[in-house]
């Protein structure tokens, strides 16, 4: 396997990771439906350590407009409630001592438009990450040419492959973005 193949394989891996990260971020952005993924970004200060909520509690969506959070340690109930209230999700928790209930209010038109802007920003960040991978790989290819390890023709072919990879991955993010926007705007 040549150095060019190594660079291309690495670029594909890194671009795939960018798409996966963007997808994860999209899942944590609220739509009209309750989804346990909404709480993925929430971290609780647990004995001085920021800890992801999903490691401290079981999260479920028993109804389309309700999430429940059941802490494994009842002592963490207050800090979990506080973290949810202070998050940008706009949810108001209520607890009965054992379980935190999070009613998911219907989204207003204004809030939907705000969320679409957030989703577009996240999508753009994903595309920027992909373009950064492209820039790194092109830089390494030029270094190979400068050192004389690779000819100009090989470099041009590799650049075309990198551009093709970039276009495919950017399109994947655009597709994810369309789906997420439609999900948010769905009443």
pLDDT value of residue 187: 63
Each domain of the chain, given as residue ranges in start order, spans 3-27+108-185, 36-103
Task: Return the CATH architecture of domain 36-103.
Answer: 2-Layer Sandwich (3.30)
What CATH topology corresponds to 3-27+108-185? Topoisomerase I; Chain A, domain 4 (1.10.132)
Q: Is the fold of 3-27+108-185 the same as that of 36-103?
A: no
Q: Quick one: three-class SS letters along the chain?
A: CCHHHHHHHHHHHHHHHHHHHHHHHHHCCCCCCCCHHHHHHCEEEECCEEEEHHHHEEEEEEECCEEEEEECCHHHHHHHHHHHHHCCCCCCCEECCCCEEEECCCCCHHHHHHHHHHHHHHHHHHHHHHHHHHHHHHHHHHHHHHHCCCCHHHHHHHHHHHHHHHHHHHHHHHHHHHHHHHHHHCC
Give pLDDT, residue 1. 56
The whole-number pLDDT of residue 73 equals 87
pTM of the full structure: 0.70
Q: Which residues of the chain have pLDDT under 70?
A: 1, 30, 32, 187
């Amino acid at each position: 396997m040549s150095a060019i193949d190594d660079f291309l394989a690495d670029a594909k891996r890194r671009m795939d990771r960018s798409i996966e990260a963007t997808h994860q971020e999209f899942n944590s952005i609220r739509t009209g439906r309750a989804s346990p993924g909404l709480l993925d970004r929430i971290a609780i200060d647990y004995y001085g350590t920021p800890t992801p909520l999903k490691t401290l509690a079981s999260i479920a969506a028993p109804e389309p407009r309700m999430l429940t959070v059941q802490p494994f340690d009842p002592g963490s109930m207050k800090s979990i409630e506080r973290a949810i209230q202070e998050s940008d999700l706009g949810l108001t928790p209520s607890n009965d001592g054992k379980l935190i209930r999070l009613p998911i209010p219907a989204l207003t038109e204004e809030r939907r438009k705000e969320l679409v802007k957030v989703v577009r920003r996240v999508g753009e960040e994903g595309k920027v990450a992909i373009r950064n991978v492209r820039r790194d790989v092109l830089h390494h290819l030029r270094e190979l040419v400068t050192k004389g390890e690779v000819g100009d023709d090989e470099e041009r072919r590799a650049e075309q492959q990198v551009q093709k990879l970039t276009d495919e991955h950017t399109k994947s993010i655009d597709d994810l973005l369309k789906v997420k926007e439609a999900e948010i705007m769905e009443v």
